[in-house]
């Protein structure tokens, strides 16, 4: 698979190519670890963003707000309403 270097970025193409080459030299396990760390960091940042906008938000509501951001395009309005009820009833 040929790496894609034309993604929107402020990183010059030759630097992007170097970065991709560095990642491709890592073992599959190392790449999986990097992916897991980036996912964990992204979820942490999303959580912090929601908490900064909703002072005193409950745990269930926080989970729902995260789901809403991450999966809004995956569920119908009816399904999102059921999901919201489920998570807000956890508190």
Sign of the CA dihedral running 25, 28, 34, 38: positive
Q: pLDDT tens, 48-87?
A: 999 999 999 999 999 999 999 999 899 999 999 999 999 9
**Whole-number Å distance between alpha carbons of 58 and 27:** 40
Where along the chain do its domains lie? 10-53, 56-91
What is the pLDDT averaged over residues 4-13? Answer: 75
Cα–Cα dist 75/42, whole Å? 21
Instruction: Look up residue 8 and give its DSSP letter.
Output: S
Query: SS3 helix, strand, coil % of the chain, rounded to 5?
Result: 70, 0, 30
What pTM was estimated for this model as a whole?
Answer: 0.76
Give the SS3 label for residue 72. coil
pLDDT of residue 4: 61
């Amino acid at each position: 698979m040929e790496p894609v270097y034309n993604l929107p970025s402020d990183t010059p193409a030759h630097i992007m190519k170097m970065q991709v080459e560095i990642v491709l030299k890592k073992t599959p396990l190392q790449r999986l670890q990097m992916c897991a760390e980036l996912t964990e960091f992204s979820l942490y940042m999303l959580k912090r963003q929601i908490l900064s906008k909703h002072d005193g938000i409950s745990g269930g509501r926080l989970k729902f707000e995260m789901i809403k951001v991450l999966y809004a395009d995956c569920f119908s309005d009816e399904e999102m309403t059921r999901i919201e009820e489920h998570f807000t009833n956890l508190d």
